[in-house]
Structure 1
């Protein structure tokens, strides 16, 4: 019996070591040819959406007006009512001769049945799952997810942010209720960059090469912005650079908060230099296992004088940074190891004071709908849950 248990233990240990080796090997091979992409600064009209009930009608209306092509990438698309409305619309556009490409992350698209996908294809919609498992570096491939959320319509409008497609994003999740997120609609220059990245991902997933084409766009007054496309730790360094630029105030909002030691050091250093730092996190979560690893982080920051707000109105899913009222970042990336080391992500850095002031008004509303994290609140956390905060860091690297 002892020998059997020892054998199982050794096999389990070997599997864990091989798992980690494979992930590291696959990661190094992938990021070597997929460095962080930082685009030039562009100018365009930017609109912010924080509720699915406002975003979806605008998105669907833009798709309805499409004349040439619609490119869509989401991490999650459900098989529910709002998703079916999107699918019907895409089939209608394909029937009109519009090129429709729909990409969904392989794990995030688990709700989509073969029958549903075949129906889309039969009706002219080109469909692919993104980041399918591969034999080479298998464990890395199942952890490497396409977390980007893109829509490009005729090279004229583009969408980027935290929303996926599903009824829960309309606040209809029984447990989570109201859904708060941050998503951008961009019109004007720079959309070519989003289209180009979508087509790179599409080629990687399908083998089909399509060159992005610049659509003539009349120059117009609007917000200055820059796009970032990342896979790997270069995004973490970019966030550290942004933190280091803060002189007066830094606001971070994210649904999952498991920062690395490097990010923690950057935050503490900024606080010690006199920067006012606010962090907004959800009080309720759709992934409970991500909370215990965050407890040591939030406790340490709280002890350093950093203010932490717990959003209570529903579920907070936005990914936002604001630095000194002069730079804002709306992103698909969370503050967790997956987004910083494993996922494909997209971010939009905004350098427009008027737009940033609008974002800050929304953030202030989020704070109003939050409670402050205090020592008393921490003490109220169940003991069994607090005990999980000792989870080894190499494990929650995959959270």
Structure 2
């Protein structure tokens, strides 16, 4: 048998295995996945759209913690910002604060083992969640825990798009200025984050730990609620909210690969006179995500939607605003990965003052962006079109 034939056979076996693995893994996941919906509870808020102000406040709250810290991110880097976080967590643990540190096993796979062991030896309880595992190795590799939530002393809860790394401070020259949206909540709504964490650990197939949550004594002035999903239900939620729109829809996302259902809902909205605006980044932090978006952007441009590309740097915010009266900020992107694979959580609210503040930031971001036209997407080179065909084939995994 020739070397070429051997290679072809090996590749065929790998492809067949990957398809079978993913198909069976997906069926098992669908049979087990569910969602967490909670009744709204009152809270107060702070909103962040700059990494410097977000991390300054976040680290200040961590340093002031008296009894309890729960920190969870998809990505935590072993860089100056990450090391500052590690030092804070270790110091608080040495002071007798109960400290929990949870990261996605693959999202944070570059964390050195010695860093994790050093945290543990310092009294920090560490969990690397959603490790790839048999029998569905390929599927579990693609299924990630994408949530980014933190809770401090039962007083403050954080949710949004920021992870922990120098690029989130705009220090990666390839990505430039980093734009993200993140919430800091206080009041009774913090109890929803306790419920989320408890539910998440019950769902996890990894090792877990028992947590005694502190009491939440503070009240709040406006209702907030969490929606958490495990690789299903988020698409249905977004489609339903789009269908409710009467006058306007704004979507901000770094990855726009939504699938047919959401695109059809947005097209219907355009045809019903709803003004649809979508903001995506000009730069890409992953291969093929820009190309994979084109088949979904084209029909929306034809339907009358306005599409903008953020130029100052990388736009990573995840936001849905309907009629300037409902808003959703969380961890879910408008892509197939967030809809069908990832564990996500979003915060839903109708606060007029918060929506007004977010709207001003969105308006500023749109002013810094370029509006796309049909020729921008239709007049592409043969190479770009070829890349687009390949991107469409693997769009579920981008």
TM > 0.5 fold call: yes
Q: 1:182 to 1:18 in 2, by over 3 A?
A: same
Contact residue 72 and residue 101 of structure 1 kept, 8 A: yes
Equivalences for 1:50-65 in 2 at 5 Å?
Answer: 50-65=49-64
Contact 2:188 2:216 in 1 (8 A): no
For the residues of structure 1 that align with 2:278 and 2:374, how far apart are their CA atoms? 16
Alignment coverage as a number of residue pairs = 397
What secondary structure sits across from 1:160 in the alignment?
Answer: strand
Measure the CA separation in 1 of the matches of 2:139 and 2:217. 40
User: How many Å apart are 1:161 and its aligned residue?
Assistant: 0.5
SS of match in other structure, 1:12: helix
1:88 aligned partner = 87
For 1:346-374, what per-residue CA distance to the aligned partner results, in whole angstroms no more than 9, with x for missing partners?
A: 10111112211111111101100000001
* Alpha-carbon distance in 1 for matches of 2:224, 2:122: 37
Separation in structure 2 between the aligned mates of residue 238 and residue 14 of structure 1, nearest angstrom? 38
Matched residue SS, 2:394: helix
The two structures have a TM-score, normalised by structure 2, of: 0.94
How far is 1:114 from its partner? 1.2
Contact kept in structure 1, 2:256 and 2:280, CA below 8 Å:
yes
Partner residue, 1:183: 182
- Correspondence 1:110 to 2:109: yes
Q: Whole-Å Cα distance in 1 between the matches of residues 263 and 277 of structure 2?
A: 14
Deviations 1:190-225 (A, max 9, x none): 22222232244445264334255462323332x222
1:153 offset after TM fit, Å? 0.6
Deviation at 1:125, TM superposition (A): 1.1
Deviations 1:41-81 (A, max 9, x none): 11101211011100001101111111111111100011111
SS in 2 for 1:44: strand
1:57 partner SS: helix
- What residue in structure 1 maps to residue 268 of structure 2? 269
Corresponding residue SS for 2:317: coil
| Structure 2 contact 192–225 (Cα < 8 Å) conserved | no
State the partner residue of 2:219.
Answer: 219
User: Given the superposition, is the C-alpha separation of residues 34 and 209 from structure 1 closer, same or farther in structure 2, using an over 3 Å criterion?
Assistant: farther
Where 2:383 maps in the other structure, the secondary structure is helix
Q: Answer yes or no: is the 8 Å Cα contact 1:161–1:330 preserved in 2.
A: yes
Cα distance in structure 1, aligned partners of 2:363 and 2:309: 13
- Equivalent position SS for 2:210: coil
Looking at structure 2, the residues matched to 17 and 264 of structure 1 have their Cα atoms a distance apart, in angstroms, of 31
Deviates more, 1:70-79 or 1:349-358: 349-358
8 A contact 2:33–2:232 mirrored in 1:
no
Consecutive unaligned residues of structure 1, counting only runs of 5 or more, are none
Q: Secondary structure at the match of 2:334?
A: coil
- Residue 296 of structure 1 corresponds to 295
1:316 alignment partner in structure 2: 315
**Equivalent residue number for residue 307 of structure 1:** 306
User: 1:66·1:153 contact (CA, 8 Å) conserved in 2?
Assistant: yes
Aligned ranges 1:154-303 → 2 under 5 Å = 154-202=153-201, 204=204, 206-210=206-210, 213=213, 215-221=215-221, 223-303=222-302
Kept after mapping to 2: 8 A contact 1:309/1:373: yes
Three-state SS of the structure 1 residue aligned to 2:397 is coil
Report Cα offsets for 1:271-327 as digits up to 9, x if no partner: 111100000010111113111111121122111111000101111000001001111
Task: Check 1:136–1:306 CA distance in 2 against 1; reply closer, same or farther (3 A cut).
Answer: same
Is structure 2 residue 20 aligned with structure 1 residue 21?
Answer: yes
TM-score (norm 1): 0.94
Q: 1:89 to 1:392 in 2, by over 3 A?
A: closer
* Counterparts of 1:124 and 1:381, CA distance in 2: 55
- Runs (5+) with no aligned partner, structure 2: none
Distance in 2 (alpha carbons) for counterparts of 1:8 and 1:171: 43
Cα pair distance change 1:107/1:394, threshold 3 Å: same
1:340 corresponds to: 339
**Equivalents in 2 of 1:159, 1:181: separation in Å?**
13
Task: Work out the CA distance in 2 between the residues paired with 1:211 and 1:165.
Answer: 24
Alpha-carbon distance between aligned partners in 2 of 1:101 and 1:342, rounded to the nearest angstrom? 25
Q: 1:330 to 1:121 in 2, by over 3 A?
A: same
**Hey, what's the Cα distance between the residues in 1 that align with 2:7 and 2:180?**
45
